[in-house]
Amino acid sequence: MNNEATSISSEEKILTGDRATGSLHLGHYVGSLSRRIDLQHQYHQTILIADLQGLTDNGFNPTKVSSNILNLMADYLAVGIDPTKTTICLQSALPALSELTMYYSNLVSVSRLQRNPTVKNEIANKEFGTSIPTGFLTYPISQAADITAFKGTLIPVGDDQLPMIEQTNEIVRKINTIADKKVLVECKPLLSKTPRLPSPDGKNKMSKSMNNCIFLGASEKEITKAVKGMYTDANHLRVDDPGQIEGNIAFTYLDAFHPDADLVQSLKDHYQRGGLGDSKVKAVLNDCLQELLAPIRSQRELFLSDKAELLATLKAGTVSAHEETQQVLLDVKGLFGLNLFEI
Ligand code: TRP
């Protein structure tokens, strides 16, 4: 889908993760999944299902996390993440990640965590008040554990995750200073080139927590409903009126998903001249989204019809990740002089 990958050194280790708090949607597809599908052919790539991170604001509502683990698996496999090329693993089943978090916690001050802009934002939006869960405040440390445990060097993220990369690298430098050698490697963000997909109403970004998503598993009806209700140009009252493209969500989606850029351009020209109705534009978009999502939906259903198999695939990825992450844990314990014996 993009050629950018060819400019990346194949030494790079790619690590991405998703909080297991809901199924994936079209915003994930354009921003991140399509790129992971490309990257897996050239690089060592790991995808972490971050169930523990999902729990950091769902401690009292754990089924929101546990019930979504296999949904995520089905989403990945349905879009074409290949478990023979990408290691897919489960955070809570990898003790090294939690243990590393404990060691790193001693190197990060509470005020540093409170200054993390993403955490700060989330805390304000989630209205924790004075009851911020400790696990939530400290999740950047756990994310640093995730990244370093896999020796991740390239982290494909949206810009909201940049503060996590920064905190990870601070921890890496502290660890290397204590060890007086390079035990851990710093990582770099691989920023998504596509801007975040807006919600169909154009008011927000598409986001699980805002309930404004077109999910990968959306039914034909749900897709049609979302497209019909999509924000276009409020001043485009008559078909003959010239319409505006900027801020017109139907065109934003056509740009993001329609395979024929020339056709989209000619629709835009026509719309701007006047004479092209919203319903025609939406019909083209609807066809395109139905075509994109129909095979994903049926694959997804097929995968979900055999949960034992999905679980076995996740387990196999996690077993191989266990070995990898355990080694980094031993190194870190060693530098603190605390690997006296194994049990
Ligand atoms: N914080 C990421 C999110 O909200 C999820 C995540 C957890 C992650 N661990 C990670 C991302 C490690 C990249 C690397 O989506």
**Spacing, Cα 49 to ligand 1 middle (Å):** 9
Asked if residue 47 has pLDDT above 90, the reply is yes
Ligand 1 neighbours, Cβ below 6 Å, are 15-19, 48, 50, 53, 143, 146-147, 155, 157, 161
- Nearest-atom index, ligand 1, CA of 161: 1
Average pLDDT of 332-337?
96
Asked if residue 5 has pLDDT above 70, the reply is no
Express each pLDDT in 6-25 by its tens digit: 456 678 999 999 999 999 99
- Nearest-atom index, ligand 1, CA of 19: 5
**Spacing, Cα 309 to ligand 1 middle (Å):** 25
Burial 300-322 (b: 16+ CB within 10 A, else e): beebbeeeeebeebbeebbeebe
**Spacing, Cα 58 to ligand 1 middle (Å):** 16
CA 165 – CA 186 distance, rounded (Å) = 9
Express each pLDDT in 68-82 by its tens digit: 999 999 999 999 999
- pLDDT at position 3, please? 41
Express each pLDDT in 174-213 by its tens digit: 999 999 999 999 999 998 877 789 999 998 888 777 778 9
Helix (H, G, I), strand (E, B) or coil at 211: coil
- pLDDT at position 224, please? 97
Express each pLDDT in 252-303 by its tens digit: 999 999 999 999 999 999 999 999 999 999 999 999 999 999 999 999 999 9
Positive or negative: CA dihedral 99, 102, 103, 104:
positive
Place of tokens 């169909």: 200
- pLDDT at position 2, please? 42
> Does domain 220-302 match CATH 1.10.3720.10?
no
Tell me which of 3.40.50.620, 2.60.40.10, 3.90.960.10, 3.60.9.10 is the CATH number of domain 3-197+307-335.
Answer: 3.40.50.620
What is the pTM assigned to this prediction? 0.93
Express each pLDDT in 218-254 by its tens digit: 999 999 999 999 999 999 999 999 999 999 999 999 9
Is-contact 100 326, C-beta < 8 A? no
Is-contact 159 191, C-beta < 8 A? yes
**Spacing, Cα 78 to ligand 1 middle (Å):** 21
CA 54 – CA 18 distance, rounded (Å) = 9
- pLDDT at position 8, please? 60
Express each pLDDT in 83-107 by its tens digit: 999 999 999 999 999 999 999 999 9
Asked if residue 27 has pLDDT above 50, the reply is yes
Report the residue among 12, 16, 148 best suited for mutation to probe ligand 1: largest number of ligand atoms under 8 A from its CB: 16
Report the residue among 53, 90, 191 best suited for mutation to probe ligand 1: largest number of ligand atoms under 8 A from its CB: 53
Express each pLDDT in 300-314 by its tens digit: 999 999 999 999 999
Question: Where do the domains of the chain lie?
Answer: 3-197+307-335, 220-302
Average pLDDT of 153-163?
92
Q: Across the chain, what does the average pLDDT equal?
A: 94
